Structure 1
Amino acid sequence: MGLLSNMISREELKPGDHIYSWRSAYIYAHHGIYIGDDTVIHFTRAAGQEVGTGTFLDKLFLSSSPVPTGAICERCGDQSHLHGVIKSCIDCFLGGGKLYIFEYGVSPAFFVAKARGGTCTLAASDPAEDALHRAKSLLDQGFGVYSLFKNNCEDFAIYCKTGLLIQTHYSIGRSGQMASWTAVASTVMSSPLRFLTTSGTGLVFVAGAMYSVSRFVADIGVRRDVIKIPVERLIIEAGAEEPQIVSGLLTT
């Protein structure tokens, strides 16, 4: 993959790949694990509501799915009201969007150069069979309650590929997209920027550096508040919170 795009063709897909498709003019991407036979396992709050927060903020977000056409997929049926971990054909997963692959084990220089979050990570992925085992197990067990900020579709796919979960309850999830949004917000809101430079060029440089550093330290490949946990221990009860690890013990 290159710096400009992670787009791939369907012919290049392999079972266990972490794939995604951009929604709503590239505002947000929906992620899942390709399991073969043109089928994807993914985590959703509900079809068309993957960017939903469950609050008044939803009015400020555009839906992550295309405008419904009224047509029902012959293979998947009507999935518009499904939520949690579901299985869909690749056409339903893409929702008319293009296909991209998420990259693992990239270098720090590549990660920083790939300024848009939610496309790659420094963390190494496990073998494809491990990702498939986790995804298929969670299809039956669930992955907790969907949360845009702490337990979303990208978090699900990253767990399937790496087996890593957050240790504490007080940080953003594994999602590179949310890390990027948080980095932007912290950069914009950071008043000390004006004391670091007086020139426009300098301000842009400092803001860019802060953004890159914020994204880098939030990446699951470098952060220290994560722990690897077998999917067999990740049994999520109906209505539970997002999966978390506290003091080495799984909690829901």
Structure 2
Amino acid sequence: MVGLLSNKIIRDELKPGDHIYSWRHAYLYAHHGIYVGDGMVIHFTRGAGQEIGTGTVLDRYIFSSSPSHPSDTPCPQCGDQSSLDGVLSSCIDCFLSGGDLYIFQYAVSPVLFIAKARGGTCTLASSDPSEDVLHRADFLLKNGFGIYHIFKNNCEDFAIYCKTGLLVFTSISVGRSGQAASFLAATSAIISSPLRFLTTSFSGLAAVGCGMYCFSRFVTDIGVRRDVTKVPVESLVARSGIDESDAATEADKKE
């Protein structure tokens, strides 16, 4: 049952349009996608068998994620997807790659959002109706979601866009991903806060760090921040992610 401690869900409870995820590499990160029904998931990958990556040599040792079916024994339903990139349609077994199934929560309360300290599990933003979610996912499967970027355009960003239609229209901030926001919030809390000099006790430092981390996560959530706008999926440009002129126009309309 989905609750405070876990978002784990069984397959029989899934509905088309659900945003699902599965943890990888001992909970180092989670891979996200949209369940579209009939045991299939649409998700966004970096390519070459990698679900996530930085584009550096570190990917070989930290972020490499082998498909559940090697190229010499491909999935009978999906075929060999080990060399594909971009937006893919996979069976739920290939998507999970042996991991457990979790559902991403929308329109959670601020208290629940803060209580779920690990990013990438929920958001304060509301989800659109399932028919809109499925339309976006199907459109992006056919047209792409731009270039993969671990902090600004990753698998969680893809799933959140499908669910909300929201895009970030500033180029200097992190994307919609709660995982990326949590990483940056943790880094900021550890090394960037001048408040850490106000106390020398361990408990005081822990309280200051925890407060900075929670605040940073909260203000960067897609449901709170102001640098986002609703963009029709048809306005997306396959190779660049989003037509910036369209985003700017939509932002001006909001103001």
TM range (shorter): over 0.9
After TM superposition, give the deviation of residue 65 of structure 1 in Å.
Answer: 4.0
> Counterparts of 1:215 and 1:60 in 2: how far apart (Å)?
28
Alignment-mate amino acid for residue 159 of structure 1: Y
Cα pair 2:67 2:82 within 8 Å, conserved = no
Measure how far apart 1:47 and its partner are.
5.3
Residue 135 of structure 1 aligns to a residue in which SS? Answer: helix
* Aligned AA (1:248): T
Could you tell me how far 1:190 is from its partner in structure 2?
1.9
Structural mapping, 1:70-109, within 5 Å: 70-109=72-111
SS in 2 for 1:183: helix
Task: Give the conservation status (yes or no) of the 8 Å contact 1:150–1:242.
Answer: no
Secondary structure in structure 2 of the residue aligned to 1:34:
strand
Aligned partner of 2:215 in structure 1 is: 213
Q: Alpha carbon RMSD of aligned pairs, Å? A: 1.8
User: 1:206 Cα deviation (Å)?
Assistant: 0.7
Q: Structure 1 residue 241: deviation in Å?
A: 3.1
Aligned counterparts of 1:135 and 1:210: Cα–Cα separation in 2: 35
TM-score (norm 1): 0.93
In 1: Cα distance, 2:127 partner to 2:97 partner: 26
Q: List runs of 5+ in structure 2 lacking aligned partners.
A: none
CA gap 1:71/1:59 in 2 versus in 1, 3 angstroms: closer
Q: Distance in 2 between matches of 1:176 and 1:242?
A: 19
- Any idea what the Cα deviations from partners look like across 1:6-46, whole Å, max 9, x if unmatched? 00000000000000000000001010000000000001012
* Structure 1, gaps ≥5 residues long: none
* Letter in structure 2 aligned against 1:83: D
Partner of 2:241: 242
Cα deviation for residue 248 of structure 1 reads 2.4
Determine the structure 2 residue equivalent to 1:53: 54
Relative to the length of structure 2, the TM-score reads 0.92
Q: Give per-residue Cα distances to partners, 1:39-88, cap 9 Å, x unaligned.
A: 00001012542221112342552324467655310000000001011100
1:157 pairs with 2:156 = no
The alignment partner of 1:86 has SS state of: strand
Spell out, residue by residue over 1:132-177, the C-alpha distance to the aligned partner (whole angstroms, 9 max, x if none): 0000011101000111111000000000000000111111110000
Aligned length: 247
Rate the CA distance shift 1:188–1:152 in 2: closer, same or farther, 3 A: same
User: Could you tell me which residue of structure 2 aligns to residue 169 of structure 1?
Assistant: 171
2:235 to 192, 214, 233: 233
Contact 1:167 1:244 in 2 (8 A): no
Q: SS in structure 2 opposite 1:248?
A: helix
State the one-letter code of the partner of 1:82: L
CA distance, structure 2, for counterparts of residue 90 and residue 68 of structure 1: 12
Between the aligned residues of both structures, percent identity stands at: 66
Deviation sequence 1:68-114 (CA, Å, 0-9, x none): 65531000000000101110000001011110000000000000000
Contact 1:104 1:120 in 2 (8 A): yes
CA contact (8 A) 1:43 1:153 kept: yes
